[in-house]
Amino acid sequence: MQKGARIPFVKMNGLGNAIIVADMRGRADKITAEAAIALARPEAIPFDQIMEVRDADGPGRDYDMRILNADGSLAQACGNGTRCVVVWLNGLDGRDAYAFLTAGGLVATALNRDRTVTVDMGVPRFSWRDIPLAEEFADTTGIELQIGPIEAPVLHTPSVANIGNPHAVFWVDRDVWSYELDRFGPLLENHPIFPERANITIARVVARDHIVIRTWERGAGLTLACGSAACATLACAVRKGLAERKAVITVPGGDLTVEWAANGHLLMSGPAEFEFAGELDPATGQFTIETAAVPA
């Protein structure tokens, strides 16, 4: 397929996390930031992430993946989007395991018998340099950051981690829906302490094996699901002694299961669904919808 020609895509979701899977195999060009922004418009195909599936440019993986946010910026990781890619590829070749290289590193996956997908999100990093933070913190289980009055902050002392991308997790003791995350999210995402911006999560520990979260996703905004945020939440909760190493993480779109395995890797499991298919121009974002529904 020559540069400039339209590419096939499928619109999918992982627990409501809106995903466009773009078939860029056999091509050298890339989806532009301008095309991503155009596609994200309410009248177009609103999405959280675009997953570009590309030919592997080296050994040790099946495909390369380039990930774009709705604002045209690049993301290092997207667990929910990766699950969507696995289900899409399985429909093409029938395989049940794939390895991908993303900007955040190598990602191994497996399609389970119940059609859920397990994604190895890798080893979490907690050093202030790795997240990264703009200043040194010896203890990243709770850094000095707050929203609201000094004497009575609304949110404060988040745990921070890097799960392929930066995350800040604020712990709360009441319903996560009682917080104006649409108001606080942009401020915290772009806070100077986060030189690469950050995903912002509000988390309430219901039990040692159940945590409820909401996330403002870097470059995408409020989302129904963020797989890396679910992983960051579990890892940070374990570090703080709040949870076991395997738990259900409830996001607005449903439940994910996250396990911090003995080898240090975070394993996230959940579903993925097809919505429709079409073609798009990677340079401009112009698109056509060809199939109103795609069977799983």
Token readout for 6 is 């339209």
Q: Please tell me the predicted confidence (pLDDT) of residue 119.
A: 97
The predicted-structure confidence for 158-182, as pLDDT tens digits, reads as follows 999 999 899 999 999 999 999 999 9
Residue 290 is predicted with a pLDDT of 87
Does the pLDDT at position 198 exceed 50? yes
Q: Please check the confidence at residue 292 and state whether its pLDDT lies above 80.
A: no
> What is the reported pLDDT for 286?
96
Percent above pLDDT 90 for the chain: 93
Which pLDDT value is given to residue 77? Answer: 87
CA separation (Å) from 260 to 61, 103, 117, 160, 213?
23, 22, 16, 16, 17
Quote the mean pLDDT of the chain: 95
Alpha-carbon separation of residue 207 from 64, 242, 259 (angstroms):
38, 8, 15
| Integer Cα distance of 203 and 291 in angstroms | 38
State the pLDDT at residue 57: 95
Predicted confidence (pLDDT) per residue in 117-146, tens digit: 999 999 999 999 999 999 999 999 999 999
- Tokens read off for 279: 């073609």
To the query of whether residue 226 is one of the catalytic residues in this protein, the response is yes
Q: How confident is the model at residue 293 (pLDDT cuts 50, 70, 90)?
A: low
* CATH code of domain 7-116+272-291: 3.10.310.10
The Cα 249–Cα 94 span in angstroms is 29
**Amino acid making up residue 127:** S
Does residue 296 carry a pLDDT above 50? no
So where are the chain's domains? 7-116+272-291, 146-265
Q: Is the pLDDT of residue 294 over 90?
A: no
Answer whether residue 2 shows pLDDT above 60. no
Active site residue 78: yes
146-265 placed in CATH 3.30.70.100: no
What amino acid occupies position 214?
Answer: R
* Catalytic, out of 84, 226, 231, 236: 226
106 falls in which pLDDT band (50, 70, 90)?
A: very high
Query: Which is it for strands 287-291 and 273-280: parallel, antiparallel or unpaired?
Result: antiparallel
Predicted local confidence at residue 104, as pLDDT: 87
Catalytic, out of 78, 84, 231, 236 = 78
**Per-residue pLDDT tens for 215-240?**
999 999 999 999 999 999 999 999 99
Which of residues 104 and 235 earns the better pLDDT score? Answer: 235
Written as one string, the DSSP assignment of 221-247 is EEES--HHHHHHHHHHHHHTTSS-SEE
* Residue 113 CB neighbours (<10 A): 6
Same fold, 7-116+272-291 and 146-265: yes
pLDDT tens-digit series, residues 20-60: 999 999 999 999 999 999 999 999 999 999 999 999 999 99
